């Protein structure tokens, strides 16, 4: 099973830091955000990781190399200036990801979810039953409306006219390649429309993660995470 780290975003809300440093290389707790992901993946037995990049992407390649320093084999999926958004970026990387389900993680989140669970999820759900399995978290203060609801193991749309607590997509999920079959290779496409269609078709599973999760989307949240993780290398 392969993993993909989504690292192509510009990081506008993290400027001026991201004017000279790609967002995944910003540091918290003494190391770049993307290194936290790589170390967790390696510790859980992963060997093959795909990373997409666009803005200042060569800095990412130079910093991480071929992955041997982490006990991994890293392949890169470069994107044009402006990037392809999440679904477009994943679709462009499918030749590197291969025919089997894969784990995808946003490069700008910090989370203590057990990445080893991804293999258990794949063993439990066949590609005929699932398009994706999403990790959901309690709504953070900056996103109080949430994204979805959970009904058992099934992800449902967050209908404002229906009672039920909402949850936020953590930027972590297991995806089946077939889920992106309709995305034009090299085309720009967000993930949310695909998820909404998958929910309508009953193809999206999910789970709530009650542990620590941070969307490192602003300089303030990066500084807070850095203080929390200080000396954690």
Nearest residue to 69 via CA among 96, 106, 31, 105: 31
Per-residue H/E/C for 110-162: EECCCCCHHHHHHHHCCCCCCCEEEEEECCCCCCCCCCEEEECCEEEECCCCC
Model pLDDT, residue 151: 85
pLDDT of residue 127: 43
Number of C-beta neighbours around residue 205 at 10 A: 22
Q: What is the pTM of this model?
A: 0.91
Average pLDDT per 10 consecutive residues for the chain, totaling 233 residues: 93 81 92 96 96 93 96 95 90 95 95 92 62 94 89 79 78 95 89 94 92 91 90 47
DSSP state, residue 30 = T
**Spacing of C-alpha 179 from chain mean position:** 16
């Amino acid at each position: 099973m392969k993993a993909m780290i989504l690292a192509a975003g510009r990081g506008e809300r993290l400027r001026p830091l991201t004017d000279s440093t790609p967002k995944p290389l910003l540091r918290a707790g003494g190391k770049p955000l993307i290194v936290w992901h790589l170390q967790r993946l390696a510790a859980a037995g992963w060997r093959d990781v795909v990373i997409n990049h666009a803005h200042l992407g060569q800095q990412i390649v130079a910093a991480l190399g071929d992955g041997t320093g982490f006990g991994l084999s890293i392949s890169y999926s470069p994107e044009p200036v402006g990037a392809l958004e999440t679904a477009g970026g994943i679709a462009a990387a499918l030749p590197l990801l291969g025919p089997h389900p894969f784990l995808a993680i946003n490069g700008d989140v910090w989370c203590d979810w057990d990445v080893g669970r991804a293999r258990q999820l794949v063993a439990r759900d066949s590609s005929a039953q699932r398009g994706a399995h999403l990790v959901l978290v309690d709504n953070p203060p900056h996103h109080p409306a949430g994204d979805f609801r959970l009904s058992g193991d099934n992800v449902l749309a967050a209908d404002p006219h229906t009672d039920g607590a909402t949850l936020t997509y953590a930027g972590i999920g297991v995806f089946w390649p077939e889920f992106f079959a309709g995305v034009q290779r090299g085309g720009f496409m967000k993930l949310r429309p695909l998820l909404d269609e998958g929910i309508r078709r009953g193809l999206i599973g999910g789970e709530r993660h009650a542990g620590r999760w941070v969307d490192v989307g602003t300089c303030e949240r990066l500084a807070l995470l850095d203080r929390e993780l200080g000396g954690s290398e």
